[in-house]
Chains A and B, each alone.
Chain A
């Protein structure tokens, strides 16, 4: 017998999601914005301030998501942000941006799950 992977429930899921969008998107934007702002502040505080370029390069960029998607991008845009994160020949890597953004992403997901569950929909919290 050939292996099969059968997924069902998409129609029901779309119908459920449709019941609270776009209100849901409007409600989750401030949730994401709060976590993103915290992450930005943590990143700025974690970066050294020698020339100020690393800190000055940190910015939050709100984006328009499709459908019910709400998206905020945290950017570290200085010319040497990658050298700080991944290291140079004479200075080791300083894991900063990646762990901070990973924690913020997971925390914001949990916050949104809390909100969605508050709307009466059961959500699995398994990450990754």
Chain B
């Protein structure tokens, strides 16, 4: 049986293990929210998910679409641009280390669309958000 939580962990794991990304976003990689006070970090969240009901009644594969974005304080877009490029290099048609507990293996992981916006939390505090949504399709290792 597929454990989607293990797939979540694997996505975070591949980002958290990368030294280049850690250099660009020293605050770390978090699910949904980063700790208060962190000023340059990556966030992973679940956007959508689905089974492929057309194939073998939905037991053949599952797809999870993750929002993965770099977030950094400041008006310059350069830090998040570099981090976004690194995230894409890691995830787009990349590999995942899935534990046995995940109950599945990776079929394909790919970039599907872009996310970018600027947030103003106060009149003097600007944040850059930049990243994309990534589709991760897995298939059970045993039925």
Contacts and interface: CB of A to CB of B under 8 A. Distances in A.
B121 A95 contact: no
Interface residues of B, number: 24
Interface in B27-64: 32-34, 36, 43, 45-50, 52, 54
B115 A86 contact: yes
B67 interface: yes
Question: DSSP class of A's interface residues: helix, strand, loop or mixed?
Answer: loop
Contacts, number: 56
Contact of B69 (A86, A102, A127): A86
Contacts of B50: 102, 106
B67 A86 contact: yes
7 contacts: A86-B115, A87-B45, A89-B71, A95-B47, A98-B47, A127-B52, A127-B54
Nearest 7 CB-CB pairs, A to B?
Answer: A92-B32, A99-B48, A93-B45, A92-B33, A95-B47, A126-B54, A89-B127
